[in-house]
């Protein structure tokens, strides 16, 4: 045995949807899996684990919005919707400082780790340190530093944000902080590339079709490396779809697929409002539809055409977006429940064209495994390799002491976790390192102090 490798012994290990009993896994000092053997007894010195499933990558996050979670659930006028919520969010977005962002992100990222997200795609548009400040990197550096401190893997996606609407080339007073020219944007990417650490990478990001022009996107895409992931908010709101049709003559997904080479590198955030043609074309592109069901429900966005998209073989991922919840199992649960309510049926996930599938379809398996693969594709711009050897040992260890899990059959373990006990997490392993136990991140008091510092400062300045 090489001294640089460690062995894990799992009562059961899930690989590509199958449970391997009594799995002995060798992991190298980089956290990569070297070998897996099932039906093995544990050896002295092995790290003993229960049931291990692959951990998740969070495909969409605006970490600063965690400060608003639960703080915007009231109505001041006759009508409250995404646009009125956005006004409240802008107040926070315009006031938060780099130090507050760092503290808040430390607390939120640690909490994500505790719930099984070991990587996060941070969709970052708070560029300037203040609305008219020339410094465009302090906020991004605060995000990089918080990710490094907590250890969560990071795909930093600085967003290009140039205008307030399809027909308005200027930014509103509340959006000044987000604005960068293409030249400033590319210079910022260049600078940030030199600031990345081990499990951090950069991607390209366009805030939305309403915030950038085709020329802006082409200028950026022709300059950045060809293997970088590309993210864009696409069709979250009906009003946005209508405005796009008026300005560009097409619906957002339809327009994007026709004007840019959308492929596996791309992640379309909130592909909520699509017609049948768009749904099929997006599925065929190999891109990832990033769904954020708890935020989409919270903001009253609408419901994604899930059955049609699955039937067309579409890839999807989940994201915590506004961070009203940080639990990927709850995100998957919301995705499924929204569909059940809309279609008045059960087990929508795992939709197949087989009328009588060979074995029962379990929503827990279908949701977790598809969203897990989609999340890693969204974070690195390509689909993850199948199989375990060579992959990084990112695992969520289910708490098999919880009766609902203990007495579930093998086939029902993920169903029981997702629908009945989404907090049944014993430990989270990132690259073979334990980062959370019993639903709490390692060093929880440190992260709590950071959170307290951010909250008291934001509260004092009436930003939340």
Cβ at position 167, least distance to Zn ion in Å: 22
The interface with Zn ion within residues 223-262 (CB under 5 A) comprises none
Report the residue closest to Zn ion, judged by CB: 321
From 111, 301, 321, 415, the catalytic residue: 321
**Residue 410 C-alpha from the chain's centroid:** 27
Q: Which residue stretch of 23-31, 315-323, 422-430, 446-454 sits at the interface with Zn ion (rule: CB under 5 A)?
A: 315-323
| Contact indicator for 256, 212 with CB cutoff of 8 Å | no
- CA distances, 170 to each of 163, 166, 167, 220 (Å): 5, 10, 9, 19
Helix (H/G/I), strand (E/B), else coil: 137: coil
Find residue 120's DSSP bridge partners.
Answer: 58, 154
Instruction: Specify whether the backbone of 70 is left (phi greater than 0), alpha (psi in -120 to 50) or beta.
Output: left
| φ/ψ of residue 19, rounded to 5 | -90, 125
Query: Which residue bears the tokens 């990587």?
Result: 119
Phi and psi dihedrals of 112, rounded to 5? -60, -45
- In whole angstroms, how close is the CB of 123 to Zn ion at the nearest point? 5
Residue 282 or 414 having the CB closest to Zn ion: 282
- Candidate list 62, 124, 270, 362, residue with the active-site label: 270
Shortest reach from residue 321's CB to Zn ion, in Å: 5
Q: Any catalytic annotation for residue 16?
A: no
Query: Where do runs of H (alpha helix) occur along 173-275?
Result: 182-193, 214-221, 238-248, 252-259
| Residues of span 54-93 touching Zn ion by CB under 5 A | none
Going by DSSP bridges, is the β-strand pair 425-430/395-398 parallel, antiparallel, or unpaired?
antiparallel
Choice between 154 and 388, CB closer to Zn ion? 154
Joined tokens for residue 231: 């993210």
19 vs 316 by CB, closer to Zn ion: 316
In angstroms, the CA 187 to CA 220 distance is: 11
* Residue 181 C-beta: closest distance to Zn ion, Å: 22
Whether 321 is a known active-site residue: answer: yes
x/- binding map, residues 319-348, to Zn ion, per CB under 5 A? --x---------------------------
CB 143 within 8 Å of CB 217:
no
* Percent of the chain that is helix, strand, coil (3-state, to 5): 40, 20, 40
Q: Segment near Zn ion (CB under 5 A), from 21-29, 141-149, 280-288, 314-322?
A: 314-322
Half-sphere exposure of 19 (CA within 13 A, CB side): 15
- Cα angle vertex 113, ends 54, 272, to 5°? 75
C-alpha–C-alpha distance, residues 105 and 61, integer Å: 11
**Least distance from C-beta 43 to Zn ion, angstroms?**
46
* Paired tokens of 378: 């969204």
DSSP class of residue 175? G
Q: CB-wise, 296 or 321, nearer to Zn ion?
A: 321
Q: Which is nearer to Zn ion, 321 or 399 (CB)?
A: 321
**Residue 372: CB partners within 8 Å, gap ≥ 6?**
54, 55, 56, 57
Count the residues of the shown chain that bind Zn ion, applying the rule CB under 5 A: 1
Residue 25 vs 72, nearer CB to Zn ion:
72
Nearer to Zn ion, 55 or 93 (CB): 93
Kindly report the number of other CB atoms within 10 A of residue 401's CB atom.
10
Minimum CB separation of residue 405 from Zn ion in Å reads 32
- Among 144-152, 251-259, 317-325, 381-389, which window interacts with Zn ion (CB under 5 A)? 317-325
Residues 202/228, Cβ–Cβ less than 8 Å: yes
What whole-number distance in Å separates Cα of residue 263 and Cα of residue 235? 18
CB of 161 to Zn ion, least distance (A): 12
In the bound state with Zn ion, the residue whose beta carbon lies nearer, of 321 and 365, is 321
Determine the interface stretch with Zn ion among 26-34, 101-109, 243-251, 313-321 (rule: CB under 5 A): 313-321
| Least Å from the CB of residue 61 to Zn ion | 8
Instruction: Name the residues annotated as catalytic.
Output: 270, 321
The residues binding Zn ion (CB under 5 A) are 321
């Amino acid at each position: 045995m090489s001294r640089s490798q460690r062995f894990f012994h799992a009562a059961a290990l899930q690989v590509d949807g199958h449970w391997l009993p009594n799995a002995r896994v060798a992991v190298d000092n980089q956290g990569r899996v070297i070998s897996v053997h099932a039906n093995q007894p544990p050896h002295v010195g092995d790290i003993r684990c229960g049931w291990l499933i692959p951990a998740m990558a969070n495909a969409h996050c605006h970490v600063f919005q965690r400060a608003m979670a639960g703080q915007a659930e009231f109505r001041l006028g006759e009508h409250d919707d995404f646009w009125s919520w956005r006004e409240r969010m802008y107040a926070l977005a315009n006031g938060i400082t780099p130090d507050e962002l760092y503290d808040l992100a430390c607390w939120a990222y640690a909490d994500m780790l505790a719930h099984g997200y070991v990587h996060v795609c941070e969709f970052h548009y708070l560029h300037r340190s203040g609305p008219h400040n020339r410094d465009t990197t302090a906020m991004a550096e605060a995000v990089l530093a918080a990710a490094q401190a907590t250890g969560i893997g990071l795909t930093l996606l600085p967003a290009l944000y140039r205008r307030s609407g399809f027909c308005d080339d200027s930014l509103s007073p509340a959006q000044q902080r987000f604005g960068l020219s293409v030249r400033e944007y590319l210079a910022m990417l260049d600078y940030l590339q030199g600031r990345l650490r081990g499990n951090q990478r950069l991607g390209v990001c366009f805030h939305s079709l309403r915030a950038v022009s085709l020329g802006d996107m082409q200028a950026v895409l022709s300059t950045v490396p060809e293997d970088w992931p590309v993210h864009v908010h696409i069709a979250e709101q009906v009003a946005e779809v209508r405005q796009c049709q008026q300005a560009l003559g097409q619906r957002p997904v339809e327009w994007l697929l026709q004007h840019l080479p959308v492929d596996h590198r791309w992640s379309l955030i909130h592909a909520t409002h699509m017609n049948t043609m768009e749904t099929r074309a997006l599925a065929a592109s190999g891109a990832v539809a990033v769904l954020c069901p708890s935020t989409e429900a919270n903001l009253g966005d609408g419901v994604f055409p899930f059955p049609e998209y699955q039937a067309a073989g579409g890839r999807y991922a989940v994201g915590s977006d506004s961070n009203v919840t940080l639990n990927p199992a709850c995100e998957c649960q919301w995705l499924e429940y929204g569909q059940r309510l809309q279609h008045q049926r059960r087990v929508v996930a795992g939709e197949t064209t087989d009328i009588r599938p060979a074995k029962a379809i379990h929503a827990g398996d279908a949701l977790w495994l598809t969203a897990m693969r989609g999340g890693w594709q969204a974070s690195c711009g390509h689909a993850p390799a199948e199989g375990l050897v060579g992959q990084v040992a990112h695992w969520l260890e289910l708490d098999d002491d919880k009766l609902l899990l203990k007495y579930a059959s093998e086939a029902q373990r993920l169903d029981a976790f997702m629908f009945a006990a989404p907090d049944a997490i014993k430990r989270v392993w990132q690259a073979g390192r334990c980062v959370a136990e019993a639903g709490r991140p390692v060093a929880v008091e440190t992260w709590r102090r950071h959170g307290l510092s951010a909250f008291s400062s934001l509260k004092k300045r009436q930003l939340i």
